[in-house]
Structure 1
Amino acid sequence: MDRISVVQYIEIVSVTTSSIVQAGDTTILTPVSRALAVQRQESTYDEEEHQFDMYPIFSIPFPPLYYETIPVKTVQENPAIHVNSINIIGVAASSAVRIGKTDFVSSEARVKHIRQFTVNPYE
């Protein structure tokens, strides 16, 4: 049985990078985020220089997940979810804020950090 989600007040400063904020029930959530973070001493960039397919981190498959089926019987005496107040600073990198029921969640965030310096910054 799906329920109604009632939220009196929600304040979120920032929602970024394939993240989800949702009040209400859903069947499947699959947010995915891929990012290349390039930091360099000299700001010269070539658009062909960094492509996702150049880095194995973006194509390596995750190990298989093993699920255990647990029999559950739920009785919903109240057909609504009531939330008074939520304060969130940030939701980022393929995450979710959910007020409600979700049957299946599969989130993925992959970030490759690249730092390029002409002079070693630690010397």
Structure 2
Amino acid sequence: MESIDFLNEEVTSKVTTDTPKHSTQSQTSKREGPSVLIVGAGVAGLFLAILLERVGIYQVYERAKEVKSLSATLTPQGAIMSLNVGAIPALEQMGLCEDLWKVSLDSGGRFKIYDSDLSLLYSLNTSIEYV
């Protein structure tokens, strides 16, 4: 099986990119007890993996041969997302805000589409004006 390191130095877990023949305890787990299998290394799968990493009870399986971080070249695997204010507490709890802000752009009430060089391609005003 091929494994790929992901995220940053704080999270040293692996994403396995091959279909498992059987379910196993995470290789990074130091404790005995429950184990959580996360299938898919999209945004939700990786967020859950970060939270469960703290107690060492997960293993992530992803079909794609390559999983890229938010700072890498954008891929269709959840790298492009829109976050609203409700997501901030969860991101803070996971310790991701500082890194996320480095690769994020504030929409300022507009829906914006950028190319891979972060040059603006399209903008749509989504703010609501109250009279």
TM-score by length of 2: 0.22
Q: Which has the higher contact order (CA 8 A, sep 6+)?
A: 1
TM-score by length of 1: 0.23
Asked which structure has the greater CA Rg, the reply is 1
Bigger fraction of residues in helix: 2
Bigger fraction of residues in strand: 1
